[in-house]
Amino acid sequence: MSAAPARRRKLAVVIGSGGVKCAAALGLRQVLDREGIPIDMFVGCSGGSIYAATAALGFSPDEAREAITRLWTREVTSQRRRRALLELLLPRTFGFGEGFGMRDDRLVLQRLRDGFGQRTFADARTTLYVAATDFRTGEQVVLSEGRIVDAVRASIAIPFVLAPWRVGGRLLVDGFLSDPLPVNIAIREGADVILAMGFESPMQSRLTSPVRFIFQVSTIMTNNLLRSRFAFTSHAHHSEVIGVMPEFRDRIGLFATERMPRIIEDGARATEAHLPYIRRLMSDGAG
């Protein structure tokens, strides 16, 4: 009796939170495209959700870079919401609430609509999952249906900066709060080989303002959350979780889109380091 043919391993790419650093995922895609290695699933979180969504919708890396350069600019979060300061200073008088955000989100919404239009998850050529966080319970929420714009808007709802976003009756905030690199979603959805591209946040060089102080606290907590979740999922998975963590030569701001070419190179280089093993895994089959 002849043996059953080996099943091809299912490959997922998970792109974690990291602002413009997530452009490294374009470098990862370039390497996999060049090698003819098919991707079966994208998972995105926060800034990574934008890259995961463009990839899943079939944007080429060049098209995605162009679209994201238009979308992700400093301008989108520099739109002050005048009333926000009053809400902070006199919360009872001005009605501070769960929908608080320091910035006006109309421009970011417009840019997301320009980029994704009315496309839904059903329009994705490759399976797509977007991670957000339930603001009331803290639970991770996995979005896999409805409009891409809503999913991405929820996933990038940076606390204090952008207001939470309501999807399907739940008030959602940035996915990084529940897991900055949600490998668990790819595991649960049946991936074998998981390429997890994550980004640790840099520490503040000087703690000279309350904002920097808060950023430092947030960075410590987020980096530790990333590591602990990554460690757990790495040990729990039946197959491979390959952490593709680009090393950047210097500090990269949240909106430094002018640095994208270098970031993409760094992402490609980080992927190349794992390529011999990825090739072996994908040619072996899962048996």
Partner 1 sequence: METAVEARGRATVVRITGSVDGTTADQLTAVFTHELAAGHTHLVAALDGVDYTSSAGLRVLLGAVKEARSAGGDVRLAAPRKDVLKVLELAGFTGILKVYGDLESAVAGFGA
Binding site for partner 1 (CB under 8 A): 227-228, 230-232, 234-235, 237, 239-243, 245, 273, 276-277, 280-281, 284
Q: How far is CA 223 from CA 48, 105, 179, in A?
A: 16, 27, 10
Q: Which two tokens stand for residue 116?
A: 């994704």
Comparing CB distances to partner 1, the nearer of 92 and 249 is 249
Min separation Cβ 49 and partner 1, Å:
22
CB of 8 or CB of 113, closer to partner 1:
8
Q: How far is the CB of 63 from partner 1 (least distance, A)?
A: 32
Give the orientation angle of helix 47-56 with respect to helix 61-71, to 10 degrees: 140
CB of 138 to partner 1, least distance (A): 22
Closest distance between partner 1 and the C-beta of residue 156, in Å?
24
In the complex with partner 1, which residue's Cβ is closer, 213 or 277?
277
Q: Which amino acid is present at 95?
A: G
Residue (27 or 101) nearer to partner 1, CB? 27
CA distances from 164 to 22, 134, 167 (A): 21, 9, 10
Q: How far is the CB of 15 from partner 1 (least distance, A)?
A: 16
Q: Which is nearer to partner 1, 47 or 198 (CB)?
A: 198
The single-letter code of the amino acid at 169 is G
- Minimal CA–CA distance to 22: which of 242, 259, 212, 225? 259
CB nearer to partner 1: pick between 107 and 286: 286
Residue among 189, 195, 166 nearest 48 (CA): 195
Q: Cβ contacts of residue 263 below 8 Å, gap of 6+?
A: 20, 21, 23, 24, 27, 246, 248, 252
Distance of alpha carbon 152 from its chain centroid, rounded? 9
Q: Cα separation of 266 and 252, whole Å?
A: 12
B/e letters for 24-48, b = 16+ CB within 10 Å, e = fewer, are bbbbbbbbbeeeebebbbbbbbbbb
Following DSSP, what letter does each residue of 118-132 receive, concatenated? T-BGGG-SSEEEEEE
At closest approach, how far in Å is the CB of 9 from partner 1?
10
CB of 34 to partner 1, least distance (A): 21
Using the minimum distance from each CB to partner 1, give the nearer residue, 67 or 278: 278
Nearer residue to partner 1 within complex by CB, 15 or 55: 15
CA-to-CA dists, residue 161 to 56, 67, 84, 221, angstroms = 27, 22, 10, 18
Q: How far is the CB of 251 from partner 1 (least distance, A)?
A: 19
